[in-house]
Amino acid sequence: MKKELLMATALVSTLGAASVAQAVTSTMSGSMKIGAEFDSPESGVDTQNVVDLSNLSISISETTDAGTTISSSFGIIDEGGSDIGDDDNAIKLTFTDGSAIELLNAGNASSTSVVAVPSGAGEMGVAGATTNRTVTDVDGGAGSTKLGVEWHSAADFLADGLKMSASYSTDDGAAKAATARQENSWGVGATYVTSAGDTALTVGAGFSGGDVANTDTQTTGGKEGFHAGVSAVTGDLTVAVGYGDGNSFDGTTTNQDVEFSVLKAGVSYVTGDITLAVGATAGTAKDSAFGATTTKDDSKDTLSGSVTYAVASGVSAVVGYLTEDHQNDGVSATTGGSSWYIGATMSF
């Protein structure tokens, strides 16, 4: 017992001395968005909203004598409500060969490989209560719990331009409740970068799966799916397309299985201080109570565009527009509409 106490005292003393004498390296970034958003739903009244969004991100890291970098980050967010920060942050270890592993809150590796598709910039949105559960993200089948780990390969893994990731998360021990939740997950993803003449090509794909649990009738589809996408950059022009298909769930009100497919496409072009962007999304879904089936489609078709002007270093002015068409259970819904936004973003 005496030896154990001496060891514990030595450990505490060592950590205490280290905390006084040393500190990890930190960097900060953030932005402030100020503007106005005008919402015109197909049903209901038009609304106007003042947009005032701010966030501060802090990244911390340090490198051991062996060359391993230990890093994490957190954010402070103010979006006009009770937002105070982002607590889903992993501890990341980056090794000397360029590979890395994330511990806790690691996420799903399928999402890591999603190819970015341009869309209209700005804070547009169409408000309206609906039971339409169409998924609009190509990685809508990916999910994870906080007890997870994700591995990332170094660049040029097995082939030039190839990077791969794999993840797994397990049951976090929370008691099952009537509201469904993710119980475990797995995911794999890869990106491949190459060139064709003056065009830089990025190809990404991912697969994911997982179980969903609740105390009532069990889900039939779980949360699983795949996605693939490609981006082509030629000078100032970017063209990209992405597709996703799978199963998800909605446990916010009544537990629902959701079978979905999503197609996204977008174009952006930079000319001088101006960036033009256009994006479109076509999503379809079939939702049903756990243990039941349905053949009726939900859908969301969106089209967005924007013009962004670089006023000064770190300051940009944005004008954006969004339109949405909805279908719920096979019938055209009036929860769609249009929205436009004008504002400024200051970043540091």
Residue 33 in tokens: 């968005």
Tell me, what's the pLDDT at 86? 58
Tell me, what's the pLDDT at 127? 72
| 219 or 178: which leads in pLDDT | 178
pLDDT tens, 250-278? 877 678 788 899 999 999 999 999 999 99
Tell me, what's the pLDDT at 128? 62
pLDDT tens, 145-174? 889 999 999 999 999 999 999 999 998 777
pLDDT tens, 49-64? 898 888 888 999 999 9
Question: 339: how many CB neighbours lie within 10 A of its CB?
Answer: 24
Q: How confident is the model at residue 13 (pLDDT cuts 50, 70, 90)?
A: very low
Q: How confident is the model at residue 80 (pLDDT cuts 50, 70, 90)?
A: low
User: Comparing 71-85, 203-217, 250-264, 324-338, which segment has the lowest mean pLDDT?
Assistant: 71-85
Q: What angle do CA 35, 41, 44 make, to 5 degrees?
A: 115
The verdict on domain 25-347 having CATH code 2.40.160.10 is yes
Tell me, what's the pLDDT at 88? 66
* Residues 343 and 35: beta-carbon distance below 8 Å: yes
CA distance 339 to 38: 5
Tell me, what's the pLDDT at 218? 62
Tell me, what's the pLDDT at 5? 43
Which 8-state DSSP code applies to residue 115? P
**pLDDT of 182 above 50:** yes
pLDDT tens, 86-107? 566 889 999 999 999 999 889 9
Tell me, what's the pLDDT at 291? 73
- The domain ranges of the chain are 25-347
* Residues 210 and 219: beta-carbon distance below 8 Å: no
Q: How confident is the model at residue 198 (pLDDT cuts 50, 70, 90)?
A: very high
Cα R_g (the chain), whole angstroms: 23
Tell me, what's the pLDDT at 195? 93
